Structure 1
Amino acid sequence: MAETVFAPWDDPTAEPIIRFRNVTKRFGTFVAIDDLTLDIYPQEFFALLGPSGCGKTTMMRMLAGFENPTEGSIELAGKDIAGVPANKRAVNMMFQSYALFPHLSIWDNIAFGLRRETSDKAAISARVEEMLKLTRLEKLARRKPHQISGGQRQRVALARSLAKAPKLLLLDEPLGALDAKLREATQFELMDIQEKTGTTFVIVTHDQEEAMTVASRIAVMDEGRIMQVATPDRIYEAPASVYVADFIGDVNILAGTVTATGADTYALTWKDGAAPVTAVSEATFTDGQQAHLAVRPEKVAIHTTKPEDVDNLLKGKVLDIAYLGNLSTYHVELPGGQIIKAQTANTRRLSRRSITWEDPVWVGWTKTAGVLLDT
């Protein structure tokens, strides 16, 4: 039996759990959120991604109840939440600092919110034990926060946030304090816990790799607006604009004017005297229109001798080499000064480089490798 793909955003009958409708948020004359409309669905792991000051934290604070929209409405599970105080919303927030009580044990930290809602000790105990098991903290229940590691504290904060079974959990840069290896392991733990609980997670992050790893969909933001909302693979492979292409991952961008050369095929004149490059695009462009071709470095091949039958081939010299262990990125300078990055996987042990600095090389890519963008 084929596995059903989780994609409620493609189902016109699916009801979102969160609806932003024409939301604007101003602080004085500063517009933090600019006429924003967005749907987030139940059981999504949704990422708000963007640089500092793009409005992602303001969106989260409005969901949490710390701010209200200046204009527009925000609905949670079909109800307008404007004016509903933070403690009356079925929403919990996990802060970057984790905000654990240092004098309480891990067990009591997780129980804290439950004790404020019920005096049923058996129910509290059962729920805390369930959360300890979910986050694999059973053996640490009697310790204090300072007696456990950063990654374990992160799991305590998560257990405490989930204890009251919120409809929505907001995570504000939750992995920012962890080292790279622990962060990677914790990303997969977060995904596992989110899947087991079925809680809708909304994560705020400026770390594109983190968003690409954990999220079902990503909203890329800039200056209070959403530039694109899509699944990680679509954001990477089919960015809607130069901004999104440039923000997510590494990219080569050639700017110029296009001319149609066939069905869905265009020639981009990117430099006087240089041969145009060819691109395939489902989007329609008019002759002479300004456009940008975005090509990911891993889709650019590098050659020491001129290859035959390559759609797009440019000659240059190696300016820089970034060796990243599993990958090498070659920065190739073209005669006009433009830099093209080509990436190769280091599948064999590096005993002697076949390509080194100042070497003359050819870089090439297929006509379907790039994305032609009008903005």
Structure 2
Amino acid sequence: MPHADVFEPWKDPKAEPLIRFRNVTKRFGDFTAIDDLTIDIYEREFFALLGPSGCGKTTIMRMLAGFETPTEGVIELGGRDIANVPPNLRPVNMMFQSYALFPHLSVYDNIAFGLKRSDMPKSEIAGRVEEMLRLTRLEKFAKRKPHMISGGQRQRVALARSLAKAPKLLLLDEPLGALDKKLREETQFELMDIQETTGTTFVIVTHDQEEAMTVASRVAVMDHGKIKQVDTPANIYEAPNSVYVADFIGDVNLIRGTAENLGGGSYRIDVGEDSRAIDVSECDAEIATGTPVTFAIRPEKILVTKEPPEDRANALEGTIIDIGYLGNLSTYHVELPGGQMVKAAMTNSSRISRRAFTWEDKVWLSFRASAGVVLTE
């Protein structure tokens, strides 16, 4: 069976971005919300702006929507500088966390509201509303008022209304924040399906790492008005470019030490007199011997055993201090001789089994030389 074409326009030098930020800075008085931002977002992307509160992600979205203007720099949409284009004349729509539905209007009329005030011929409005109802699977609820449907259904009404005018760009500001965890997870996949069906470019603002990793084609991790890394979710997780990104995305162990360059992308990390050195292979960065570094390794890459395994490059002895049972996996907090705490995660593959390890057990933590990354920032 042939593979589907991989969607990676950012790797194509001939691809023209839909959105271009060029050296954009936004200040509010003495406070710099966005600091010299340059980034491209492509047509049909599902692009996530991810970061803690106050990092600037909502300011980026508000500038795209036309609610804020850059202090410096240029924002282009479809090759056009949009600095002087008012919000109502931009081919952009925004969906807010509150959904902002009209409580006195039916689902049908909520979706039709913007179309009736647009230049769309009246004869085409009903067909477009029906199309949006089918897209969001709301046909059975067309006559109901917002208070008569669930939170997830209200979210879909807001999405249908936002897409009804076929914007080039849809901005989603924490769109799933009001939903409970299980419904939020289900809705993430619905969002992805709708985005793929319509071909609309989505830009989502979220502080939920799992959400960004699930829905996005690329993720921009932000901190204090700057983008720290832009890449696919897999690369952000497996190959972070800094300690900040590694620490912000998921669980990670950060072990500080000094690098010894062995050549060919291999390094030995000296982590102190009380612990064995860590061997690392397949490292893309060129790091000089003697450089202080941080070795980052995810908990699920680490194996916990009673005896040191023979088939792994690295084995560190320690003592189990804490155990967390999470259903699908168990996490072990293991203290190394030098005091460094390392977290390992192992799948609970058997339905019922006696725990192999308990508190205060002496165990070995082992991992392959290619399991982690060496970071200098």
TM-score scaled by length of structure 1: 0.98
Counterpart of 1:333 in structure 2 is: 335
Deviation at 1:83, TM superposition (A): 2.0
Counterpart of 1:256 in structure 2 is: 257
Counterpart of 1:55 in structure 2 is: 56
Counterpart of 2:43 in structure 1 is: 42
Counterpart of 1:8 in structure 2 is: 9
Counterpart of 1:157 in structure 2 is: 158
1:298 aligns with 2:300: yes
Give, as a single letter, the amino acid of the residue that structure 2 aligns with 1:48. Answer: L
- Please give the alpha-carbon distance, in whole angstroms, between the structure 1 residues aligned to 2:274 and 2:158: 60
Deviation at 1:18, TM superposition (A): 0.3
Counterpart of 2:364 in structure 1 is: 362
1:266 aligns with 2:263: no
Counterpart of 1:289 in structure 2 is: 291
Moved over 4 A (4+): none
Structure 1: gaps of 5 or more residues: none
How many equivalent pairs are there?
A: 375
Counterpart of 1:342 in structure 2 is: 344
Whether the 8 Å contact between 2:274 and 2:337 is mirrored in structure 1 is: no
Deviation at 1:307, TM superposition (A): 2.0
- Please give the alpha-carbon distance, in whole angstroms, between the structure 2 residues aligned to 1:48 and 1:331: 31
Counterpart of 1:31 in structure 2 is: 32
Deviation at 1:322, TM superposition (A): 1.4
Deviation at 1:79, TM superposition (A): 0.4
Greater displacement, 132-141 / 266-275: 266-275
Query: Among the aligned pairs, what percent are the same residue?
Result: 68
Deviation at 1:39, TM superposition (A): 0.1
- Please give the alpha-carbon distance, in whole angstroms, between the structure 2 residues aligned to 1:238 and 1:157: 36
- Please give the alpha-carbon distance, in whole angstroms, between the structure 2 residues aligned to 1:331 and 1:183: 30
Q: How does 1:149-298 map to 2 (within 5 A)?
A: 149-280=150-281, 281-298=283-300
Counterpart of 2:317 in structure 1 is: 315
Secondary structure of the structure 1 residue equivalent to 2:184: helix
- Please give the alpha-carbon distance, in whole angstroms, between the structure 1 residues aligned to 2:119 and 2:70: 32
Give, as a single letter, the amino acid of the residue that structure 2 aligns with 1:158. Answer: L
Deviation at 1:273, TM superposition (A): 3.6
- Please give the alpha-carbon distance, in whole angstroms, between the structure 2 residues aligned to 1:55 and 1:327: 35
- Please give the alpha-carbon distance, in whole angstroms, between the structure 2 residues aligned to 1:26 and 1:271: 44
Distance 1:119 1:276, change over 3 A: closer
Whether the 8 Å contact between 2:308 and 2:366 is mirrored in structure 1 is: no
Counterpart of 1:116 in structure 2 is: 117
Deviation at 1:327, TM superposition (A): 1.0
Greater displacement, 68-77 / 353-362: 353-362
C-alpha deviations, 1:19-72, integer Å up to 9, x for none?
Answer: 000000000000000000000000000000000000000000000000000000
Deviation at 1:268, TM superposition (A): 0.7
C-alpha deviations, 1:255-312, integer Å up to 9, x for none?
Answer: 1111112421111111234221111212111010111110011100000122224211
C-alpha deviations, 1:286-344, integer Å up to 9, x for none?
Answer: 01011111001110000012222421111111111111111111111112221111111
Whether the 8 Å contact between 2:16 and 2:42 is mirrored in structure 1 is: yes
- Please give the alpha-carbon distance, in whole angstroms, between the structure 1 residues aligned to 2:371 and 2:120: 61
Secondary structure of the structure 2 residue equivalent to 1:228: strand
- Please give the alpha-carbon distance, in whole angstroms, between the structure 2 residues aligned to 1:358 and 1:293: 25
Structure 2: gaps of 5 or more residues: none
- Please give the alpha-carbon distance, in whole angstroms, between the structure 2 residues aligned to 1:273 and 1:296: 22
